[in-house]
């Protein structure tokens, strides 16, 4: 069986360092907001190329806290891609702001900057760029719009740790960025975790307080804050894994490069890459009009595939007020996408086999490919 993602094997690469970290935290007797959190946040900020990072409990909180910190009024608008993972949108509506959904580019699956301007109103406060599937949004036109209309740029970097654009890393492409360290992300811990990066010192101070009961000083609460902190044990583990992130992303790039040259099937549309060096391939997403048949075919050859994502946010029960709306590009994406296995620990023989099995997919009765597994 070729698994979609083998988390055990990914973490096994870091076994010695993780074991040591867990023991160190256990022995320290200090489990929340200590030196592990401080060290990791400093290293992650440096890695992203910004002065500040705040550890938080998860990626959704990272985005929610950023929006809360700006103190926009109820009904103020934030532009967000219609095909994102629902967390980006929840972060906006849970703050009382209005998510304004904009169609993505069908080729790259990321926000189409040319469609953004038409959605800017007097109430627009920010553009949330989501570097979906590991590919950085085309930022030049977004920077120009933010400047022209005096908008903040919030990055959702949950799928793009280490990705870069014009030499700058995700986390350093807007006013503030939210990251998730959910186990399956490119940089994942052994549970939930998240971080916010920013270059804005005042925002950083406020976010640190907001994530800790609105408090800078124990038992003095100046904001209506949250309990959203990155545990010492997770911070220590992340600090170990951060050192391997570039190598892990490079392996993902090599696998993607192989798929992009080896996969050749008229039923399949490969992803369009804007910059092969900057992309970190959180997932490798192809499109096909015959998704069920292709998934079946892959399953029969013992290859696990997943759909990111089967239902667009505006068709979810959580957003019934939007269910009547139509976003044809987004809907097309959700009906046709399929993610192939990609991970830093995937063996080359398995990579070759995945491409081979995809190439043998046809609408006729499918034939066995190669040797039985």
Footprint of ligand PLP on this chain (CB under 6 A)?
58-60, 84-85, 87-88, 130, 156, 158-159, 180, 182, 192, 194
Give least dist CB 189 to ligand PLP, A.
10
> Is 101 or 130 the residue whose CB approaches ligand PLP more closely?
130
Nearest distance from residue 35's CB to ligand PLP, in Å? 23
Tokens of 109: 């699956």
Cβ of residue 158: shortest distance to ligand PLP, in angstroms? 3
Q: Which is nearer to ligand PLP, 279 or 301 (CB)?
A: 279
CB 363 to ligand PLP: min, Å: 32
The residues with which 174 forms a beta bridge, in sequence order, are: none
- Measured from each CB, the residue nearest to ligand PLP is 59
- Give the strand pairing for 194-198 and 176-180: antiparallel
CA distance 187 to 242: 7
Check: CB of residue 112 under 8 Å from CB of residue 104.
yes
DSSP 8-state code for residue 280: -
The rounded distance, in Å, linking the Cα atoms of 366 and 343 is 27
Q: Measured from the CB atom, is 66 or 268 closer to ligand PLP?
A: 66
CA distance linking residue 232 with residue 40, whole number of Å: 9
CB neighbour class for 186 (10 Å; exposed up to 12, middle 13-18, buried from 19): buried
* Closer CB to ligand PLP, 81 or 344, in the complex: 81
For residue 328, the SS3 value is: helix
Closer residue to ligand PLP in complex, CB, 80/354: 80
Please tell me the distance from the alpha carbon of residue 77 to that of residue 123, in angstroms, as a whole number.
Answer: 6
Give the integer Cα–Cα distance in Å for 77 and 150. Answer: 13
Report d(CA 194, CA 58) in Å as an integer.
4
Minimum distance, C-beta of residue 85 to ligand PLP, in the bound complex (Å): 4
Q: Which is nearer to ligand PLP, 180 or 305 (CB)?
A: 180
**For residues 172 and 294, which CB has a smaller minimum distance to ligand PLP in the complex?**
172
Query: Which C-beta is closer to ligand PLP: that of 230 or that of 358?
Result: 230
CB of 150 to ligand PLP, least distance (A): 25
Beta carbon nearer to ligand PLP, 72 or 133: 133
**CA-CA-CA-CA torsion for 259, 260, 266, 268, nearest 10 degrees?**
70
CB of 61 to ligand PLP, least distance (A): 7
- E strands within the chain? 52-56, 77-81, 98-102, 124-130, 152-156, 164-165, 168-169, 176-180, 194-198, 215-217, 220-221, 284-287, 337-340
State in angstroms the smallest separation of the CB of 59 from ligand PLP. 2
CB of 208 to ligand PLP, least distance (A): 19
Give the SS3 label for residue 31: coil
Contacts of 257 (CB under 8 A, 6+ apart): 276
Nearer to ligand PLP, 87 or 337 (CB): 87
**Alpha-carbon torsion (169, 173, 176, 182), positive or negative:** negative
Residue 33, class by beta-carbon neighbours within 10 Å (0-12 exposed, 13-18 middle, 19+ buried)?
middle
Min dist. Cβ of residue 147 to ligand PLP (A) = 25
């Amino acid at each position: 069986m070729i698994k979609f993602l083998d988390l055990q094997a990914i973490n096994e690469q870091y076994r010695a360092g993780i074991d040591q970290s867990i023991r160190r935290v256990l022995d320290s007797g200090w489990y929340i907001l200590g030196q592990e959190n401080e060290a990791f946040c400093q290293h992650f900020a440096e890695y992203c190329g910004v002065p500040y990072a705040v550890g938080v409990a998860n990626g959704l909180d990272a985005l929610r806290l950023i929006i809360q910190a700006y103190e926009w009024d109820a009904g103020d608008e934030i532009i967000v891609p219609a095909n994102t993972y629902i967390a980006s949108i929840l972060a906006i509506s849970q703050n009382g702001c209005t998510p304004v959904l904009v169609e993505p580019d069908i080729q790259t699956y990321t926000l189409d900057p040319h469609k953004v301007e038409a959605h800017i109103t007097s109430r627009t406060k920010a553009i949330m760029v989501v570097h979906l599937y590991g590919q950085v949004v085309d930022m030049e036109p977004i920077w120009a719009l933010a400047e022209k209309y005096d908008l903040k740029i919030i990055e959702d970097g949950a799928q793009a740790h280490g990705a870069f654009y014009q030499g700058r890393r995700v986390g350093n492409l807007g006013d503030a960025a939210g990251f998730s360290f959910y186990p399956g992300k490119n940089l994942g811990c052994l549970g939930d975790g998240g971080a916010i990066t920013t270059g804005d010192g005042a925002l950083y101070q406020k976010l640190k307080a907001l994530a800790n009961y609105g408090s800078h000083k124990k038992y003095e609460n100046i904001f209506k804050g949250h309990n959203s902190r990155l545990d010492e044990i997770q911070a220590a583990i992340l600090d170990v894994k951060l050192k391997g992130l570039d190598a892990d992303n490079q392996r993902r790039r090599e696998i993607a490069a192989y798929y992009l040259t080896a996969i050749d099937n008229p039923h399949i549309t490969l992803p369009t890459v804007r910059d092969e060096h900057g992309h970190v391939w959180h997932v490798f997403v192809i499109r096909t009009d015959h998704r069920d048949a292709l998934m079946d075919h892959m399953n029969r050859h013992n290859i696990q595939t997943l759909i990111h994502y089967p239902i667009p946010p505006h068709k979810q029960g959580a957003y019934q007020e939007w269910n009547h709306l139509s976003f044809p590009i987004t809907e097309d994406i959700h009906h046709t996408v399929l993610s192939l296995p990609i991970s830093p620990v995937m063996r080359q023989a398995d990579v070759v086999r995945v491409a081979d099995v995809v190439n043998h997919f046809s609408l006729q009765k499918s034939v066995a490919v190669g040797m039985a597994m």
